Chain A
Amino acid sequence: MKWEKYLVPASLDEALKTLAEYEGQARVIAGGTDLVPQLKKKERTVKCLVDVSRLAELKGIHHQDGLMRIGAGVTHQQIAASPLLRQTAAALAEGAAAVGSPQIRYMGTIGGNIVNAQPAADTAIPLLALDAEVEIASKEGVRRQPLEDLYVRPGVSKVDASAEIVVAFRFQTLHGKRGSAFARLAKRRSLSLPILNAAAVAILSKDGALFEDLRLALGPVALTPFRARKAEEALRGQPVDGESVVEALVIASEEAQPRTNPLRGSAEYRREMVKVLLGRALERAVAAAKA
């Protein structure tokens, strides 16, 4: 038996109650694309699955007053295909489009991609660069937490999927002199995990010449999705196309701590690729900000 009970609650409240009843032995399932293989391989055990994929509270992509709110139950396909997100949070749309395969993108949700806590999850890296906040519902109510604080180590997040439900992600949309982009290196063009991925958000001065602010995210170069803060620091206030960019990329490659993986590349190669991918993401983010 992979699980003994499969419940499909009709509301968020009911879902939370159900989780509470099982006292830690139930787990939230959304698309199931990560969880079902884990359960099949007995990497995880669970008594009850609580399916949140049809909850209205977890649906929808809404934009109001410069704030984007994406329901945790929104699928990668919906994000990748959203004209609104393509325009105002391109890095996220691009990241979602890179997940797995069409089937996985139709099934998998952005919430699941985050709770599964892989350090190079293709939606986590752009969300990190977008400085997203996460709404998490529990018996005690809804709390908001920066995405960055959610991670513990590969496969483990601070969301207790036996008691809590990720409801939505929120971030400031990018308009005016702001732009974002995502870059990815993988063995092949579909069905593959990244050797490295990177997302950049560029916030430029009015004349488009300087980085007023910027955020750079990378994976997998640490146990959790990684913000290249030293590189960001080095570039803040600097020209968008000068030597400082090259220097910042070097800094990023030094602060990143990629590991050697016999299937996906050596630490040395990945470190070198930090410069290339981050450079490409940043260049496109700047171009988008200027456009």
Chain B
Amino acid sequence: METLTMRLNGEEVTVQVEADALLIDVLRERLGFMGTKEACGEGECGACTVLLDGRPVTSCLVPARKAHGREVLTVEGLASGGELHPLQKAFIEHGAVQCGYCTPGMLMSAKALLDRNLHPTDEEIREAISGNLCRCTGYVKIVEAIKAASAG
């Protein structure tokens, strides 16, 4: 077992983990943050995307120890002060959610984009979520929602 200390959704967390634990397993199985979804386990679908020091990573490929001393943001950390994040609101209002399984990862990729680019073009939005597969929506309303949540 190894000690892992990270800032998870703004709070410092210390947890004992197996040496070969992956970040997604620590989040889901050890800490109960079930919002992060595993849909392929090979980094090919983006469902498990979280932000590591603000950068989108597929948590199914991240050895948990890589998160030591760093900031991790999951879908559970998007809302603050009882208020949904503008992206969450936009996803609801624009019909960007169907089955919802890709939604947490999609939101995290979108957050990473808007954090560095307040005025993305449609093409930049598509590019930013091109590592997140969705089978329900054809991405159209997801792109619309991200656009709506951006500064225009």
Contact = CB atoms under 8 A, between A and B. Distances in A.
Q: Do chains A and B touch in the complex (CB under 8 A)?
A: yes
Interface in A1-22: 1-6, 8
Interface of B: 2, 18-20, 22, 41-44, 46, 49, 55-58, 61-63, 65-66, 68, 109, 112, 127-133
Contacts of B133: 191
A37 B58 contact: no
Nearest to A188: B130
Nearest to B41: A40
14 contacts: A1-B18, A6-B2, A6-B20, A29-B63, A32-B62, A37-B42, A37-B43, A37-B61, A102-B109, A103-B56, A103-B57, A103-B58, A190-B130, A191-B131
Given A4-B20, A5-B19, A32-B61, A191 B130 contact: yes
Contacts of B41: 40
A269 interface: no
Nearest to B130: A190
Nearest to B49: A103
Interface string A58-97: 0000000000000000000100000000000000000000
Given A6-B19, A104-B131, 15 more contacts: A4-B20, A32-B66, A36-B43, A36-B63, A37-B42, A40-B41, A51-B63, A100-B43, A100-B131, A101-B43, A101-B131, A102-B109, A103-B58, A107-B61, A191-B130
Interface residues of A, number: 27
Contacts of B58: 103-104, 107
A250 to B, nearest CB: 35
Contacts of A197: none
A191 B61 contact: no
Interface string A104-144: 10110000000000000000000000000000000000000
Interface of A: 1-6, 8, 29, 32-33, 36-37, 40, 49, 51, 53, 77, 100-104, 106-107, 189-191
Chain A to chain B: the 6 pairs with minimum beta-carbon distance, closest first: A101-B131, A190-B130, A2-B20, A6-B65, A106-B55, A36-B61
B133 to A, nearest CB: 7
Nearest to B68: A8
A33 B127 contact: no
A102 B44 contact: no
A2 B46 CA distance: 22
B65 to A, nearest CB: 4
B130 A101 contact: yes
Contacts of A37: 42-43, 61
A6, A37, A53, A104, most chain B CB atoms within 10 A: A6
B43 A104 contact: yes
A40 B62 CA distance: 12
Contacts of B129: 102
A50 to B, nearest CB: 11
Contacts of A191: 44, 130-131, 133
B49 A8 contact: no
B43 A33 contact: yes
Contacts of A49: 63
B63 to A, nearest CB: 6
A189 B130 contact: yes
Contacts of B128: 102
Contacts of B62: 32, 36, 107
